[in-house]
Amino acid sequence: EQKARERDGGGMSRYRARAEEEELDREAFQEVQTFLEELLERPMLTIEGATEDDQQDTQIGILVLGRAQPAWDALAALLKDGVVLCEAANAIIPGVIKKVNKSKLAFKQMENHMKFIQVLQSWGVPANDCYNPNALHEGNDLRSVVRACYSLGAALQSNSELDWDGPVIGKPYASRNTRDFSVEQLKQQRLLASSGTAISLGSSTIMERPSVSRTGITAGFEYAGAGSSEISALGRGSSAVMERIPVSRTGITAGNDYVGAGSSEVSALGRGSSVVMERLPVSKIGITAGNEYVGSGSSSEVSALGKGSSATMERIPVSKLGITSGNEYAGSGSATEISAMALGSSRTMERVPISRTGITAGNDYAGSGSTTEVSAVSLGSSATMERASIGRTGITAGNEYAGSGS
pLDDT in tens, 105-130: 989 999 999 999 999 999 999 999 89
> At 199, phi and psi to the nearest 5?
-70, -45
**pLDDT value of residue 88:** 93
* Residue 206, CA distances (Å) to 149, 192, 211, 212, 213 in order: 61, 19, 15, 18, 21
Check: CB of residue 72 under 8 Å from CB of residue 22: no
Residues with Cβ within 8 Å of 350's Cβ and at least 6 positions away in sequence, in order, are none
Check: CB of residue 76 under 8 Å from CB of residue 135: no
| pTM: predicted TM-score of the whole model, two decimal places | 0.40
Q: What's the maximum distance between 2 C-alpha atoms anywhere in the chain?
A: 149
pLDDT higher than 70, residue 104: yes
CA–CA distance, 64 with 72 (Å, rounded to integer): 12
CA atoms within 13 A on the CB side of 51: 2
CA–CA distance, 52 with 86 (Å, rounded to integer): 28
**Residue 61's pLDDT band (boundaries 50, 70, 90)?**
very low
pLDDT higher than 70, residue 10: no
**Residue 16's pLDDT band (boundaries 50, 70, 90)?**
low
**pLDDT value of residue 22:** 63
State the chain's mean pLDDT as an integer.
Answer: 75
**pLDDT value of residue 70:** 52
Query: In sequence order, what DSSP letters do the residues of 249-287 get, joined into one string?
Result: --STTHHHHHTT--SSSPPHHHHTTTTTS--------ST
Range with the poorest average pLDDT among 7-11, 110-114, 162-166, 278-282: 7-11
Q: Three-state DSSP class for 182?
A: coil
